[in-house]
Amino acid sequence: MIIAVFAGLLFSSCKKETGTGAQPSSTGYVPPVGSADERNVYVACEGAFGNGNSSLYMQNLYTHTAYENVFLSVNGTALGDVFQSITRIDDQLFLCINNSDKVLVIDAITRKLKGEISIPKPRYVQQVSAEKAYVSTLYNNKVYIINPKTRTVKGTIDLPAKNPEGILIQGVRAYVCTWDTACNKVYIVNTVTDKLADSFKIAGYAPQHALADANGFVWVLSGNVEKGKRAALTQLAPGTADVVASFQFGELQDVIKPRFNNAGNELLFIGVDYQGKSGYNGIFKMNVNDGALPATPLIPAQKFQYFWGLGIDPVTDEIYVGDPKGFVQKGTVTVYDHNGVQKRAFAVGVGPGYFYFENGQ
C-alpha cells in the first residue's frame, strides 16, 4: 500500500513539541500577522493522494509555537489535493497544489489568498525575474511561464521529454530536469528568450532535481527506482556542463529531495527503502569532494519507516525531516542539528514533504 501511495504522489490543532529543546510558549490556530523581522518555517503537507486533505503548517522559529492548517484557518477554505511546494516571490507565497491543477498565491504577511493560477499538475515555481517565473508540471512536456505580479500565465516552453520537475536558474540559463525514464539529459532554457538552447547528458536517466554547490558546480539527481532506473548523481562543471563526477546508487536505493547545507559544501538527501530490503533508509550526507556515496545515514530511519521531507534552516543549518507515517495519519517533523543530533519534534498534517523558511531563504 505504501508503494501505491508513493507512486500516486509522484505521478499526479496547534501541537506542542516533543523531545528535547524549547517548548511552544503558546498555542493557536490563526497565526498573528507577520512582521519583517520574524522567522517562521512553513511545512507543505501533501495529504493523501485523492483525498483533498493537504494542509499548510507553520512554526515560529523564535517561540517554537506551531500553527495548524494555516491556509484553512485564515481563508476558510481547503487548499486542495496534493500540496507540492512553496516559493516566495517578493511579498507573495506561491503554493503548488499538484492534483488540483492550480497555484494558489497568498500574502506572505497575512497569509490571505490573493489569487489563483490555473496550471495542470504544477510541481515547482522558480523565479527568473521580478515579472517572470517558471512552473514545472507533471505528465506533459511543458514549462509554464507566469508573471508573478499579475498572477497570469504568459506562455509555455516545450521540451523534448515529459514531466518537467526541478529547475535551477544560473544567470541566463535554466537547468530543467524532466523526470522521464527515457531521458538522460538536462535541458538548458535561455531565460531571456524562453527558448530551449542546449542539452547535456548525465550519468543516469529520469533527472529529478538540479542544484548548485558553493563553487557553482551543478549536481543533478536522477532515477526512478520503481521503473527500473537506478538513482544517480552527476556533477557538472559551471558553464560548460562537462561531467566532472558521477555516482550510481544501488538497485533498490531510492533517493529524493537533495539539499545543500548553507556553506554549499555538503549535500544531504533522503534515501528511501519502502520494502525494508536495502537498508539504505534515512538522511544521508556527503561532502562535494567525496569520492564515493555515503554508505550509512547521518539520521537513520527505522525499518518500514521512511522520510519524505528534508529542509535546511538557512540561518542555523538545522536539519528538518518530515515523516509521513505512511500517509494514513498526521505526520511529524523532527529537527536535528547539523551533526544529526535530535533537538525537537512537532506534529503536522498528512504527508509533510516540503519546507520553506522565512528570512534567509
Above 70 in pLDDT, residue 22? no
Residue 32 is placed in which grid cell?
498573528
Tell me the percentage of the chain whose pLDDT exceeds 90: 83
Query: pLDDT digits over 132-156, tens only?
Result: 999 999 999 999 999 999 999 999 9
Question: What is the arithmetic mean of pLDDT over 125-133?
Answer: 97
Rounded (5°) CA angle 277-222-352: 65
Question: What is the arithmetic mean of pLDDT over 297-320?
Answer: 95
pLDDT at 119: 98
Question: 194 or 273: which carries more pLDDT confidence?
Answer: 194
Query: pLDDT digits over 67-88, tens only?
Result: 999 999 999 999 999 999 999 9
Residue 130 pLDDT level (bands cut at 50, 70, 90): very high
Residue 36 pLDDT level (bands cut at 50, 70, 90): low
For residues 336 and 343, the answer to whether their CB atoms sit within 8 Å is yes
Q: Where are the domains of the chain?
A: 2-158+249-357
Least Cα distance to 64 among 328, 320, 296, 360 occurs for 320
For residues 216 and 170, the answer to whether their CB atoms sit within 8 Å is yes
Considering the segment(s) 2-158+249-357 as one domain, its CATH architecture is: 7 Propeller (2.130)
Question: 19 or 141: which carries more pLDDT confidence?
Answer: 141
Amino acid at 108: A
Question: What's the rounded Cα separation, in Å, for the pair 291 and 297?
Answer: 17
For residues 270 and 255, the answer to whether their CB atoms sit within 8 Å is yes
For residues 69 and 55, the answer to whether their CB atoms sit within 8 Å is yes
pLDDT at 241: 73
pLDDT at 30: 74
What is the pLDDT of the chain when averaged over all its residues? 90
Question: What is the arithmetic mean of pLDDT over 41-45?
Answer: 98
Coil, strand, or helix at residue 263? coil
Tell me the percentage of the chain whose pLDDT exceeds 70: 91
Query: pLDDT digits over 163-172, tens only?
Result: 999 999 999 9
Above 90 in pLDDT, residue 112? yes
CB environment 64-97: b (16+ within 10 A), e (fewer): bbbbbbbbbbbeeebbbbbbbbbbbbeebbbbbb
Question: What is the arithmetic mean of pLDDT over 104-133?
Answer: 97
Residue 303 pLDDT level (bands cut at 50, 70, 90): confident
pLDDT at 29: 65
Task: Give the least confident one: 11-25, 64-78, 331-345.
Answer: 11-25
Residue 277 pLDDT level (bands cut at 50, 70, 90): confident
Question: What's the rounded Cα separation, in Å, for the pair 264 and 215?
Answer: 8
- This prediction's pTM: 0.91
What are the beta bridge partners of residue 267? 260, 286
Task: Give the least confident one: 111-120, 239-248, 324-333, 338-347.
Answer: 239-248
Residue 17 pLDDT level (bands cut at 50, 70, 90): very low
Task: Give the least confident one: 4-13, 46-55, 244-253, 274-283.
Answer: 4-13
